[in-house]
Amino acid sequence: MVDHIQIAPRTRMTSAEFLALPESNLPMELLNGEIIMVPAPSISHQLVTGNAFLILHTLKPDGVVMFAPTDVYFDDENTVQPDVLWCSAQNTHCIRVEDHYWQGAPDLIVEVLSPGTGRQDKNAKFNLYQKYGVREYWIADPVHKVLEVWQLQDGRYTRQGAYGPEDTFESAVLGKSVDVSKIFTA
């Protein structure tokens, strides 16, 4: 495994070129054809990511739940690493490619906000996930302890709600109630 990789700032490439890079432990994604590199996530970010993974794994055992770094290929300019993703066993549009990456839209994606990624999570990734049909998108804010839930309806995201640790909500994709306090437990 390579522990460093030389990439010039604002490097543009295709997903094929991105996926051909040597394996690295550096967090990087290809978003709109541009390499995005971010610092390692904070401890609170990782705690929320781990909690979201455990909740999804517990609530919906059919299919696959993964956490970053796992590449998801959407198109020639977009291969990203969602913090957490779930592909149901029935999802024929999310395909595991040779144990290397996922291709297509997962059923549910969770992104945990960080100072370095928040704008991308709320804008570029939001639009990407909406465009390719990710059925439910959760945006978790570990600082303010708010979980925004977006559901895809007629090709557009509709905000189901913003939930705090005292709330529960019904996930349409999971078909189950989610206790938000478990996402923000330290």
What domains sit in the chain, N to C, each tagged with a CATH number? 41-182 (3.90.1570.10)
User: 12-21, 83-92, 100-109, 140-149: which has the minimum mean pLDDT?
Assistant: 12-21
Of 153 and 13, the one with more pLDDT: 153
Residue 92 has pLDDT above 90, yes or no: no
Whole-number mean pLDDT of the chain?
Answer: 89
Q: What is the pLDDT of residues 112-124, one digit of tens each?
A: 999 878 888 999 9
**Sign of the torsion formed by the C-alpha atoms of 17, 20, 26 and 32:** positive
Per-residue pLDDT, averaged over 4-13, amounts to 59
Residue 15 has pLDDT above 60, yes or no: yes
The strand order across the sheet containing 72-75 reads 34-37, 28-31, 78-80, 72-75, 101-103, 95-97
Per-residue pLDDT, averaged over 79-105, amounts to 89
Confidence bin at 2 (pLDDT 50/70/90) = very low
pLDDT score for 76: 92
Phi (first) and psi of residue 44, to 5 degrees: -65, -35
pLDDT score for 4: 42
Strands 72-75 and 101-103: parallel
Cβ neighbours of 183 (radius 10 Å):
24
